Structure 1
Amino acid sequence: MREDTMKHTGDADVGHSAMLSNFEALQKTARGFVDQGVVPGVALAWQKDDGPIQYHAYGHLGFGSPVAVNERSLFRIFSMTKPITGIAAMMLVEAGSLSLDQPLSDILPAFRDMEVVVDGDGMRTRRASGPITIRHLLTHTAGFGSAGMTLGGLYVKNGIAPGVRERVPGPGELATPKTLAELGARVAGLPLAADPGTRFDYSISLDILGLVIETVSGMPFDRFLQQRLFEPLGMIDTGFAVDASRIDRFADLPEQKGLLWTLADDPRHSRYSMPYFPSGGGGLVSTAQDYARFAAMILNDGVWAGQPLLKPEIIHIARSNLLPEGIDRVDLPLGQTLAGIGFGAGMSVQLSPGRRTEGMFAWPGEVPVGVVGWPGAAGTACWIDPDRRFFLVLMTQYWPSWLNASMRPDIIAAAYSDMAKEKVR
C-alpha cells in the first residue's frame, strides 16, 4: 500500500482540488451536482489496483460557507457506521471470542426468551421459534425493528431511536437511553417483528452488536473501535463526537424544505458535540481520508500499510453473503426491495449484476457481482469491488434522505465508465 495522495490547484479562494488525469467522468459528475446547487460540496476517495489512494474535493462545507471541502472535512456518515461495527465484530470472531452462529443470549442473557408479535400487533405475542445469533445481528435478520420502520411506534415509545440525536420525547415516551447497556435492556424487553433468521428487517441490530462487542471485549465499544481499528488505520478524525478543535472542518447538514434550504444540523451548535451513546448502527462522523483507509483495508484482504489487521479468510467471510438460508430479498424502508443483494458483516453484497434503483437509498447502482458496501442516510456512500481491485468513497451532506435520488447511482456509474474506457486503451 502506497501513501495517500492529494493534488490541489493551490487556489485558496475556491479551494477545489485539481481534476486528476484518471477517473475524469467520476470527478466531472460529482462536480456537476455541486455546480447545479444540489449539494454544497463533495469529497471523493478511490483506489484502483495497487495505486495510491486518490482524492478529489469540490465545493464548500455549506451553502454560503467560505470553507472549501477537502479530504479531511468531517461528515455525518450515519449507516456507513454499520460496516465498521461489522468488521469490529469479525475481529472478535477471528480471536475466537465470538462465532457467527453463537446465540446472543450466551453474551446477553436478557435476550434468551424472546417473544414475537402476532399479526403485527405489539399487544399479542408468542414465543420466538429460535434464538437470535451473531449472524442475525450482522445481517438485520434478528427480528428487531427500528424507529420509522418495522415496529417503529413501539420503539419510539420506549425511546429507542439510535442515530436520531435531536429526539425530544413526546407524551408517554421514554427518554433516549444514555448507554448501550440501557439500550440493550429496553430492546430485550420488547417483542420481535419476526422469528430470528426468517426475514430481513432493516433495524437496530448493529447497535445491539456494539453492546456485544463491549461486553465480550471488556472495554467500551467506542474505545474498542479506537484501539483496534481507528488507531492502526490512522483514522484520526473518526469518532462519535466532534470537539471544538474540529468544528471548523465539520460540514453543514443542509435540509431542503420546499424551495428553501435550512440547517438540520449546524456545526456551531451541533448535536454531535453533545453526549450520546456510541451508536454502532449510525453514530460516527468521518472523513474521506479516514474512510478510504478502512475501505482499502477491506479491499486488500485485511492489510493496511503492510500491517495485517485481520486474516484474509476473515475478511472474505465479512465480504460474503451471510444471510440465513431461505432469505433471498433485502427489503428497505418505504417499500424498496433491492434485487440480487445479500448481506455480509454490516454491508450489502452484490450477488447478481446490479441495476439502477431510485428511492430513499438509490442503492447500489449499476455495479458488478461481488461489490460490497453501504450508504449513509445523509448522502455518503462506499463501494468496494474486490474483483476489480477498486473502491470509491463519496462524502457529501443533504437532508432528508430521499433527496437527490440520482446522485449516488450517477457517481458510481461514472466510475465504472472510467474503468471501462481505461481498459479499452
Structure 2
Amino acid sequence: MIVRFLLCTAAVAGLAATAFAGQQPQSRPQPRPAPMPVPAAAVPAASLLPGTQALLDSYVRDGKMAGAVGAFGVGDLPTVFVSAGRLADGDAPAANPESLWRVYSMTKPVTAFAAMLLIEDGRLRLDQPVSDFFPGFAHMRVLTDPDHSLASRPAEHQITIRNLLTHTAGLGYNIITRGPLLQEYERQGILPGTLNRATEAQARRVRPATLQQFAERVSGLPLIAEPGTKWSYSIGLDVMGAVIERASGMPFDTFVQRRVFTPLAMRSSFWTVPQRDAGRLATNYAFAGATRTPLDPGATSVWLEPPSFPYGGAGLVMSARDYDSFLHMLQDGGRLNGVRIARADTVATMMSNLLPAGVTFAGIGGSTGGTQAPSQGFGAGGAVYLTDGPGGFPGRGTYGWGGAAGTIAFVDPAHHFRATFMANYMPADRYPVRAELAAALVRDAARLRQ
C-alpha cells in the first residue's frame, strides 16, 4: 500500500524509460520499442542501475529489511531486476526475481482486472447492482452516527459493480474503520486477510467459511456512507471476488488462474503457497520501536495453508517477475508475448478514472494501503493520475497501488514504463522507500544518458 505514487520524483517514469531505451527525453509519449528476444535475466542490473542497486544494498546493510527485489521495464525491452539481501535474516536463500512476497493490497488490481474480464464477456456491467448476484444488497442501510452507534436509515441507492471497484460502496474495512461498526465487523468475522498463524487462528473462530457466506454476511451490515457518494477504503474488492464467482460460475481463484495467471505464464502467484515453494517465501517482519522482528516466518508461514477463502483484497503471494508480467500486460493494453487476454479498451477503462460523478480521491496513508498525491482519480482497484506530473512525468493515466508489507507497483501507459518493488516489513511507511527508489532511478537514468 503506497504512501504516494512516486510523485515526489516527477521524472521517474519518463527519465527511466528514456534511459532504458537509450533515447533522449521527449515531452510526448514515444512509440513502444520493438520486442527483443532477450531473457530478462540476461540484463545485468548492476551495470544498468548501479544507484538503484546500491540503494537496495543499503537497506539490507542498515537492517531496514532482510531483502528486496525491484523490477523495472520499458516497452517490450527486457525487464531489469535488482535484488539485494536474503529472504530472512541469517542463512536464508538470496532474494531474487522468483522469490515470493506477500503483496497484500496489490491483490486488488488483479481482482479488479478479473472483474473487467467479465464485463468484457458481458457477464457483468459496470453500473449493475450487486443485488443481482446477492439479493441481500438490495436493502442496505446507512449509519446515521457512525462514531457512536449502529443507528441507520435506508440507503437511497444500490451498490454497483463500479462502487465495489472504486471503494465508493460505503463499505468499511477493519484496518481503518472505527467505532461500533468495527466492533460489529470483528464480531461477525468480516476480516478478509491475515498476518500470521496466531492471528489467523483467532479470526477463523468468527470468520465466514466461504466467500459466498462472507458476501451474504456483509449485505446484512450497515454502510458508513450512501453508495456512490464518498471514497473510503473498503472490503469492496473482497465482495467483488464473491460476485466474480457467481458471474463466472466457478470459484474466484479458479477464474483468476484460468483467465489471468495461466495465459500470462504467471507461475509464482498463489493464495496458498505450495509446500514445494516454501523455500522461496520471504519472512515478513514487524517493527516494535527500532527492533525488526519476524512476524510471519517464511518457513512456517500461514500462507502455506489454505485461507478461509481467497481474499480478493489482500490475499496473494507473488514474485517480482509475475507482478511485472501483470503490469506489462496492462502496459501493452491486454496483450503479452503474443497472447491477448483482454481488449485494449477493457484495460483502458480499468485504468481510467471510474469514480462516480462528484466523488474525489484525496489519498490515504501508506500504512493502510494507498497513495497521497495531487490530481488523482481512482480506476478499477487502483489510483490513477488525472494529469501529467511536472515535466510530463509520470504521465497522465499512470495507474497502480501497493501493499501493507512494503510492496509497490505502478504502470505509466503513456511512456510504456512500469515498476515493481518487493519487500516484506510492517508498517510499510516506516521508511521513505518510494521517494528514495524513484530518486535512485532518476540518477541512474541521467548517468545512462551521458
- Asked whether the two chains share a fold, i.e. TM above 0.5, the reply is yes
Aligned counterparts, 1:112-127, within 5 A = 112-120=138-146, 121-127=148-154
Displacement after TM superposition at 1:103 (Å): 0.8
Displacement after TM superposition at 1:416 (Å): 4.2
Which of the numbers 53, 77, 85 marks the counterpart of 1:27? Answer: 53
1:391 aligns to what?
A: 418
Aligned counterparts, 1:396-411, within 5 A = 396-404=423-431, 406-411=432-437
Shift in CA distance, 129/418, structure 1 to aligned 2, threshold 3 Å: farther
Measure, in 1, the Cα distance between the counterparts of 2:405 and 2:380.
Answer: 21
Structure 2: gaps spanning 5 or more residues? 1-34
Letter aligned with residue 164 of structure 2: L
SS in 1 for 2:430: coil
1:349·1:372 contact (CA, 8 Å) conserved in 2? yes
Which of the numbers 151, 168, 175 marks the counterpart of 1:148? Answer: 175
Structure-2-length-normalised TM-score:
0.84
2:188 aligns to what?
A: 158
Displacement after TM superposition at 1:153 (Å): 2.8
Which of the numbers 315, 324, 333 marks the counterpart of 1:283? Answer: 315
Shift in CA distance, 53/402, structure 1 to aligned 2, threshold 3 Å: closer
2:123 aligns to what?
A: 97
Measure, in 1, the Cα distance between the counterparts of 2:200 and 2:321.
Answer: 34
Displacement after TM superposition at 1:421 (Å): 5.6
Are 1:136 and 2:136 an aligned pair? no
Deviations 1:18-70 (A, max 9, x none): 54433433333233222222111111112113311221211110122331011
2:349 aligns to what?
A: 317
1:110 aligns to what?
A: 136
Displacement after TM superposition at 1:345 (Å): 1.2
Higher relative contact order (CA 8 A, sep 6+): 2
Shift in CA distance, 168/85, structure 1 to aligned 2, threshold 3 Å: closer
2:103 aligns to what?
A: 77
Structure 1: gaps spanning 5 or more residues? 9-17, 356-365
Measure, in 1, the Cα distance between the counterparts of 2:376 and 2:201.
Answer: 36
1:12 aligns to what?
A: none
Measure, in 2, the Cα distance between the counterparts of 1:181 and 1:67.
Answer: 39
SS in 2 for 1:47: strand
1:221 aligns to what?
A: 252
Measure, in 1, the Cα distance between the counterparts of 2:39 and 2:376.
Answer: 31
Percent identity (aligned) = 37
1:339·1:354 contact (CA, 8 Å) conserved in 2? no
Which of the numbers 283, 295, 312 marks the counterpart of 1:264? Answer: 295
Measure, in 1, the Cα distance between the counterparts of 2:385 and 2:374.
Answer: 9
Letter aligned with residue 61 of structure 1: L
Which of the numbers 209, 218, 226 marks the counterpart of 2:240? Answer: 209
Displacement after TM superposition at 1:119 (Å): 2.1
Measure, in 2, the Cα distance between the counterparts of 1:7 and 1:254.
Answer: 31
Measure, in 1, the Cα distance between the counterparts of 2:424 and 2:165.
Answer: 26
Measure, in 1, the Cα distance between the counterparts of 2:320 and 2:140.
Answer: 40
SS in 1 for 2:156: coil
Point out the structure with the larger helix share.
2
Range that drifts further, 134-143 or 30-39: 30-39
Shift in CA distance, 245/202, structure 1 to aligned 2, threshold 3 Å: same
Displacement after TM superposition at 1:268 (Å): 2.1
Measure, in 2, the Cα distance between the counterparts of 1:258 and 1:139.
Answer: 34
Which of the numbers 56, 70, 74 marks the counterpart of 1:44? Answer: 70
Q: How many residues align?
A: 403
Are 1:188 and 2:219 an aligned pair? yes
Are 1:273 and 2:304 an aligned pair? yes
2:382·2:400 contact (CA, 8 Å) conserved in 1? yes
Measure, in 2, the Cα distance between the counterparts of 1:71 and 1:337.
Answer: 28
Deviations 1:284-340 (A, max 9, x none): 000011111101000011101011111111111111111111112234258985432
Letter aligned with residue 383 of structure 1: F
Letter aligned with residue 379 of structure 1: G
